[in-house]
Amino acid sequence: MTDLMTELVANFENDAPEHHPAVDRRAEKAVLIEMERPLVPLTSWIADAVAVFGMQGHAVQVMTPSSARLTHPLWALLSGPGARWVVTDPDRGHFDGVNGLPLEWDGTHGFIPKQHSNGTTTVSGFLDAPSSSSTHVLLELTVQHAVSEDLVLGGAAETVANTLAGTNPAGWSTNEPAAASWDRSALTKLCKKRAPRPSRLFVAGPHNARRPFVGSLNVRRTREAVIETLSLAIALQPHEDVPHDELMHTVELLTAERLIRTLVVKTVPGRTDLTYEPRWHGIPIPFGMAIGHAPVQEVGLEHALSAPVPGFRLGPEDRPTVWYPLNVTEAEGRSNSLQDLLQHLAPTS
pLDDT 10s digits, 131-142: 667 899 999 999
On whether both 49 and 192 belong to a single domain, the answer is no
pLDDT at 15: 45
On whether both 202 and 148 belong to a single domain, the answer is yes
Q: How sure is the predictor about 336, in pLDDT bands with cuts at 50, 70 and 90?
A: confident
Q: How sure is the predictor about 16, in pLDDT bands with cuts at 50, 70 and 90?
A: very low
**Residue 184's domain spans which residues?**
134-344
pLDDT(121) > 50: yes
pLDDT (tens digit per residue) in 154-193: 999 999 999 999 999 999 999 999 999 999 999 999 999 9
Q: Rounded CA gap, 164 and 263, in Å?
A: 14
On whether both 185 and 267 belong to a single domain, the answer is yes
Give the chain's largest Cα–Cα span: 63
Q: Rounded CA gap, 291 and 13, in Å?
A: 35
On whether both 158 and 96 belong to a single domain, the answer is no
pLDDT at 12: 45
Q: How sure is the predictor about 21, in pLDDT bands with cuts at 50, 70 and 90?
A: confident
On whether both 142 and 40 belong to a single domain, the answer is no
On whether both 163 and 210 belong to a single domain, the answer is yes
Is the residue at 119 inside a domain?
no
Is the residue at 140 inside a domain?
yes
On whether both 299 and 259 belong to a single domain, the answer is yes
On whether both 101 and 166 belong to a single domain, the answer is no
Residue count of the chain, please give it. 349
Please provide the DSSP assignment of 55-101 as one string: TTT-EEEEEEETT-EEEHHHHHHHTSTTEEEEEEETTTEEEETTT--
Rg (C-alpha) for the chain, rounded Å, is 21
On whether both 92 and 202 belong to a single domain, the answer is no
Q: Rounded CA gap, 143 and 290, in Å?
A: 12
On whether both 50 and 157 belong to a single domain, the answer is no
pLDDT (tens digit per residue) in 216-231: 999 999 988 999 999 9
Of 113, 148, 177, at which residue does a domain stop? 113
pLDDT (tens digit per residue) in 270-304: 999 999 999 998 889 999 999 999 999 999 999 99
Count how many domains the chain has. Answer: 2
Give the global pTM.
0.88
Is the residue at 311 inside a domain?
yes
